[in-house]
Amino acid sequence: MKPMTRGEIRGTPWEAMAGRSVKDELRSNLVRSLRTQAPIFPGVLGYQESVVPQVVNALLSRHNFILLGLRGQAKTRLLRALTELLDPELPVLRDAELPDDPFAPLSLEGQALVAEQGDDAAIDWLPRDARYVEKLATPDVTVADIVGDIDPIKAAKLGTQLGDPRSVHYGLLPRANRGIFAMNELPDLAGKVQVALFNVMQEGDVQIKGYPVRLMLDVLLVFSANPEDYTARGKIITPLKDRVGSEIRTHYPRTVEHGMAITAQEAWTQRDSGVRLPRFVSEIVEEVAFQARDDNRVDKHSGVSQRLPISLLEDVVSNAERRALTAEDQQPTARTSDLYAGLSAITGKLELEYEGELKGGEAVARELVRRAIGQVFARRTADLDLAEVVAYFEADQALKVPDGLASDDLLGVFGLVPGLLDAASRLSEGDSSADLAVAAEFVLEGLVAKRQVARSEERGYVAAEPDPQLAAGPRRRWN
């Protein structure tokens, strides 16, 4: 049974750790994890060789730190993962307003409880997740929200003056005492609130409505920000920036494989309908994000969130699920063409430059999908001879694929193209007819992306139009 009074934890390690700061607690648990080679932040993928070592160094140095990165770079997820390095539970005084150490209370209320009740003071056990306080910075956030404000009603009930610290209604930061306080999008915070933050970080005191109130808080302060806001706009006041111990840059996945692992972890793809997801489809989905990040029509300052491939993959699976339910497909499998049904997952996550706006979001998204298919197709078919497939269409043949056709029924359609199923068998990721059918469609969509085959709304897959520049022949050179 857990100790429930201050006296019951006397003589235990909790008494010996009285006054231990949260930064020391994080450092101690981190040192133990490093010595045992336990994974650090295992749910945060793609950062183990880059960002995580810098966060580890900041924690070992007992620094407050800031994560700088574009949207969708797991900044908030990483900050929330810091709780894994806290103790599983922490004893606090039950009747105190703030999370007070039973042997070293911060608040006047906690000190009065210990003075009056001594070892009979009741305690609660605070789980590690409850020791993390997070706030999204917006221009309307006030000092009262973060630090606190004078509460006249509280002062009247206590019979004290307004300047008495007991009349303060505490904000989010004091309530994070003995824990972690995270502020997302720090540059959006008003300057006077930033001043209150750095006063707490440096001196441990603030002024509330003209009354000096010392708050020697025990808290780890962590922040996140967009690098454009942090540096170019100059919206973070210099004294606060100077007091942040470590500045750590985050990044998007550096390889398609890392991106696929993140998307697979986050996307909801395990459906009751049992839709199968070929690896090349997942690879194309991830490649869409990589293509978007390199596209000049997409705003580089805004970035392309990792939520794009996550949402797109979910839409791809949903389209396959819808087809399976309507066509009674016994082997529902996601196809390459399902990516075009997920354009809505792309357009809402792209901030376009002027050129992109002129072309239109859906047109840009469609082209990104086509280019992604072409990239993955090129990587997987470098040693395949598809001349026979291309020749079929160049002979003025067309292949119409009915909408909503079940995977098993596709084989009969694709079998009309000489060499197509042979090529598909080398790309197929299984032995079933559905695996062969989706691989055959991948070949056709890849040839469309490479402009060796075209797709017509009326006729289906047809011969590609000749390149106008090549058809015109070599240009005459003038001396």
Is 472 among the domain residues? Answer: no
Q: Are residues 338 and 388 in the same domain?
A: yes
Q: Are residues 241 and 260 in the same domain?
A: no
Is 371 among the domain residues? yes
Q: Are residues 123 and 192 in the same domain?
A: yes
Kindly state whether residues 232 and 304 are assigned to the same domain.
no
Element (H, E) at 262: helix 256-266
**Distinct helix (H) and strand (E) counts, the chain:** 22, 13
Domain stop point among 205, 230, 249:
249
Specify whether 105 is located in the same domain as 190.
yes
Query: Within a domain: residue 280?
Result: yes
Structure confidence at residue 7 (pLDDT): 92
In a domain, 347, yes or no: yes
Which of 249, 279, 296 is a domain's end point? 249
In a domain, 469, yes or no: no
Same domain, 224 and 358: no
Which residues, in sequence order, are CB contacts of 375 under 8 Å at separation 6+?
287, 291
Q: Are residues 223 and 323 in the same domain?
A: no
| Cα→Cα distances 85→19, 38, 53, 88, 125, Å | 18, 11, 15, 9, 17
Say which residue the tokens 């209604």 belong to. 169
366 and 242 housed in the same domain: no
Asked if residue 478 is part of any domain, the answer here is no
Q: pLDDT for 458-477, tens place per residue?
A: 889 999 887 554 444 444 33
Specify whether the CB–CB gap between 35 and 60 falls below 8 A. no
Q: What is the pLDDT of residue 232?
A: 43
Structure confidence at residue 229 (pLDDT): 63
Is residue 263 within 8 A of residue 313, CB to CB? The reply is yes
pLDDT at 285: 97
- Closest among 138, 224, 137, 124 to 178, alpha carbons compared: 124
Let me know the angle formed at the C-alpha of 71 by 336 and 247, rounded to the nearest 5 degrees: 135
Backbone angles phi, psi at 97, to 5 degrees: -70, -35
Domain ends where: 187, 215, 249?
Answer: 249
Distance CA 404, CA 96 (A): 64
Residue 405: give the domain boundaries: 256-463
pLDDT at 89: 93
- State the total domains in the chain: 2
Residue 410 lies in a domain: yes
Instruction: State the Cα–Cα distance between residues 330 and 130, nearest whole angstrom.
Output: 47
For residue 407, what are the CA distances in angstroms to 281, 296, 324, 369, 404?
A: 15, 37, 9, 22, 9
Q: Is the domain of 75 the same as that of 157?
A: yes
Instruction: State whether 268 and 206 are in the same domain.
Output: no
pLDDT beneath 50: ranges in the chain: 231-234, 469-479
CA dist 267 and 476 (Å) reads 55
Place of tokens 């915070």: 189
Name the burial class of residue 475, with classes exposed (0-12), middle (13-18) and buried (19+) by CB atoms within 10 angstroms of its CB.
exposed
Same domain, 188 and 264: no
Q: Are 123 and 106 in contact (CB under 8 A)?
A: no
Same domain, yes or no, for 177 and 280? no
User: What residues pair up with 141 in beta bridges, in sequence order?
Assistant: none
**Is residue 439, in this structure, part of any structural domain at all?**
yes
Q: What is the CATH number of the domain that holds 243?
A: 3.40.50.300
Kindly report the length of the chain.
479
pLDDT score at 470: 41
R_g of the chain, CA atoms, integer Å: 30
DSSP secondary structure string for all residues of 274-336: --B--HHHHHHHHHHHHHHHH-TTB-TTT---THHHHHHHHHHHHHHHHHHHHHT-SS-B--G
